[in-house]
Structure 1
Amino acid sequence: MMRVHSLVLSFLAVLALVHSSQVRYDGYKVVRVVPQKAEHVVALKSLQGQTGHDKVDFWIPPRQVGVPVDISIAPALFQHLYASFTLWGIHPVILTHDVQEKIDAQTQPRLNVGVDVDFDYGKYHSLSEIESWMKSITEQYSDKASLFEITKSYEGRTINGIKIKTTTESKPAFWMEGGIHSREWISPATVIYMTAQMLETYDSNKDMKDFVDSFEWYILPVFNVDGYEYTWTTDRMWRKTRSKQGECVGVDPNRNWDMEWCKEGASKNPCTDTYCGPSAFSEVEVKGVADYIKGIPNVRGFIDFHSYSELWMSPWGYTKELPKDYSNMDAAGKAACDALKAVHGTKYDHGSIANIIYVASGSSADWTYGKLDIVYSYGVELRDKGLHGFLLPADQIIPSGEETMQAVIALAKYITEH
């Protein structure tokens, strides 16, 4: 352990020499390492707890021996860390040679979308473009879709969702949300694509009509609006909210729910990306969404879309113990994964959050299941498995949307039948 401690101290000494006045990622590399022994996991967790995402950013955090860890590393630290990893015997593989190049590719000249301009579902869009699209599509399909206001964000933005209700009779409700972590752009893009399909093909596709008619749909394309805006204007790799937390900024909105809050898998350090906040529901966005969901009668399904890793996950997140409803939860998750794979061959794994990815307390799916008894509550990690990570090329948006749409249809069918 002394060797691990010295390696950590050596790394932190180099880290202290690095200073960046701009949030750019020129020359940043993303590497994958696979810890071979317990002391490797301990050392990686020590680094994770003491670094800022603008210098060393754990895209996939250390979990256990034999499980890959993905890390974005600043140029000034790369040679030192690469040598350290090699010395440890966990030989790094470079997944991305220049993070900024991938960021630039995602934000190539795009349509300046307004309400009278066709929306390109194969591109990533800014918050203002998404808001214009939400207004436009609910006006176009006003017989079955409407905007609803959830709350105001920390910076005063309105958080809106789209409700789809196609019959006058009362139906069970289904909630889908994207963009709780602001840098995970494929999440809002996929949710937007699916919403459009639900409305645009409703009259021409009987299977889609039956699917949409089976629930009242509450869809939140961009949960963390302040953070998402910040990824477009200032820092593409920003994850948290934008609330002031002493000398640091932001809370992880998926560690801030009032369910086993701030236990294992969450940080009490305000400067880390998994900071749980000063209290449960401290973030106005999280509290506002939770209060809104509580006010919806008979919610039967809940999905919080994330990226990346291709996982369909059910509670619990805070413990590896399985809940009493796990057999049904996982059977429904398997049905979703099977339907998803049938579209483009993408293979998702399914299981409980803590067992399939890592322990994470204070998460949305744990809260909706544990507090509201929504049995079919899921956190879904979308494409890919790490080749592009958070910087998934835009040409994968529509394939992601197509396969995820079929997964949700299969899930809804399972819930209806069971």
Structure 2
Amino acid sequence: MKSNWINLLLTCMSIAVGIANGIRRIDSYAGYQVWRVVPSSIDQLKKLVNIGQVAQLDFWREPTTAGSPATFMVRPDQRNLLDTNLRDIGLEDYEIDLSDVQALITEQMAAITNHRKASRSTQRSVSTFDYSIYHPPSEVYEWMDMVAQEFNETTAKHQIGVTYEGRPIYALIFERESTQARPRIFLDALIHCREWITTASVLFMFKEMLTNPKYSHMMEDVDWYFIPMLNVDGYEETWTGDRLWRKTKSNGPSAECVGTDGNRNWDAFWSIVPGSSPDPCSSIYHGPTAASESEVRNLANYVQSFGDGYFDAYITTHSASQLILYPYIYKENEISEDDEALEEAAKLMSDAIRAVHGKEYVYGRGSTTIYPASGSTTDWTYEVAKIVQSHAYELRDTGEYGHLLPPDQIIPNGQEYLEGIRALKDYVLQNFSG
């Protein structure tokens, strides 16, 4: 048994060496697959986590608990070694969710391109904008301009900074004149740029709040601060090069490996491992210093410019696992003093989401509900910006498509997210002291 475990580690190390030496910009995922395994015990779970860390597997659904599935992307040259490793730890009954990642990317991009061409001429207003497809950065910018122009009495568009490559980062602010103080909720999307569903869902969500009388009260009850597209450089890369790019596009200490994981770069418990990586080639590289990334630094400065505790809630939007996570995320068994209030709000959001299409969103402290992750947005907004109701949403799905969620799920996901945010708005409003 001991020798098998040693062989497992040696095999994983050989995979890791191959990855470290071979990471480049990848424009083709031909032959890549997505595998699904279900660890049945804590021991299997730990060994799977170890394989993932050593081999730097790209998990699409993280291994979090025994009995729950985990999914990860596999390169063609990894298949035999990973098959052996999984069999060695008793996980020979794995399934292949996606047999060819590139085939799905090609199919989706063709369909999206054709749909965009057909609908482009009608996208002249917030109401007629096509919310059923994904949009590149230029069209998201256009959407923000339309919102600011059509709802100019209550909407302001602020540039909060620029990305590493010089693209503007905008925030939309929705405020109504009032003689009384009102709660303020901040929401961002697309810090991980391959998670297209995040921006697509929030565009739909705010369209509903702006144009649907059923949700107009959400604009009347609360002031909203909204960044639809934070990692614009990376998002552009996912449209023009590597569809599954995750990080920023900054140059780092390695000439071969570009970018930093923005959700490991915040100045809150930064660089603690496990949960982030000092390896520039890792998908969870935490960066050379805290807030080294222009996107993170500008957003942090913007939030802090209003003062501690100015916002009553902050939601950062991710995919894909169907989770609602709250602090602390950086360390297991680290419980915040607001744990009860955070859990109460998260449960209300989860219940509201389930009532829409029956989708289950598991909620809890991030470190134990998913995995420890240091330098996260959510820990920073809670610990540094003093925003008690700090949550990270992981939108659809639970592994079938992962980061390649089909466009026909945008609106249903947006409907779920909207009801979850409405539940949060109600909770914040009820507990607002002014």
User: Do they fold alike, i.e. is TM over 0.5?
Assistant: yes
Map 1:13-412 → 2, pairs under 5 A: 13=14, 22-36=26-40, 40-41=44-45, 43-51=47-55, 56-63=57-64, 65-90=66-91, 91-107=93-109, 108=111, 109=113, 110-112=115-117, 113=120, 116=124, 118-169=128-179, 170-201=181-212, 204-205=213-214, 208-247=215-254, 248-264=257-273, 265-296=275-306, 298-319=310-331, 320-412=333-425
CA RMSD of superposed structures (Å): 2.2
Quickly say closer, same or farther: Cα 1:371–1:127, change in 2 above 3 A: same
The letter of the residue matching 1:333 is A
Quickly say closer, same or farther: Cα 1:176–1:8, change in 2 above 3 A: same
Q: Which runs of 5+ in 2 are unaligned?
A: none
Query: Offset of 1:312 from its aligned partner?
Result: 1.0
Mapped to 1, the partners of 2:108 and 2:349 lie a distance apart of 28
Query: Offset of 1:36 from its aligned partner?
Result: 4.7
Query: Offset of 1:61 from its aligned partner?
Result: 3.6
Q: Output the TM-score relative to the length of structure 1.
A: 0.92
Query: Offset of 1:49 from its aligned partner?
Result: 3.7
Mapped to 2, the partners of 1:355 and 1:14 lie a distance apart of 28
* Deviation by residue 1:122-180 (Cα, 9 ceiling, x = unmatched): 10111111111111222112122221111110011001121111225453321001101
Contact residue 167 and residue 213 of structure 1 kept, 8 A: no
Aligned residues: 411
Q: Output the TM-score relative to the length of structure 2.
A: 0.88
Mapped to 1, the partners of 2:352 and 2:41 lie a distance apart of 37
* Deviation by residue 1:17-70 (Cα, 9 ceiling, x = unmatched): 796885211221111123355664555445434546xxx522234446544331
The letter of the residue matching 1:195 is F
The letter of the residue matching 1:132 is E
Deviates more, 1:105-114 or 1:246-255: 105-114
Quickly say closer, same or farther: Cα 1:401–1:315, change in 2 above 3 A: same
Contact residue 4 and residue 43 of structure 1 kept, 8 A: no
Query: Offset of 1:3 from its aligned partner?
Result: 2.2
Q: Which runs of 5+ in 1 are unaligned?
A: none
Quickly say closer, same or farther: Cα 1:57–1:251, change in 2 above 3 A: same
Quickly say closer, same or farther: Cα 1:87–1:51, change in 2 above 3 A: closer
The letter of the residue matching 1:318 is Y
Query: Offset of 1:252 from its aligned partner?
Result: 0.8
Quickly say closer, same or farther: Cα 1:67–1:21, change in 2 above 3 A: same
Contact residue 186 and residue 382 of structure 1 kept, 8 A: yes
Contact residue 25 and residue 242 of structure 2 kept, 8 A: no
Provide the secondary structure at the position in 2 that maps to 1:405: helix
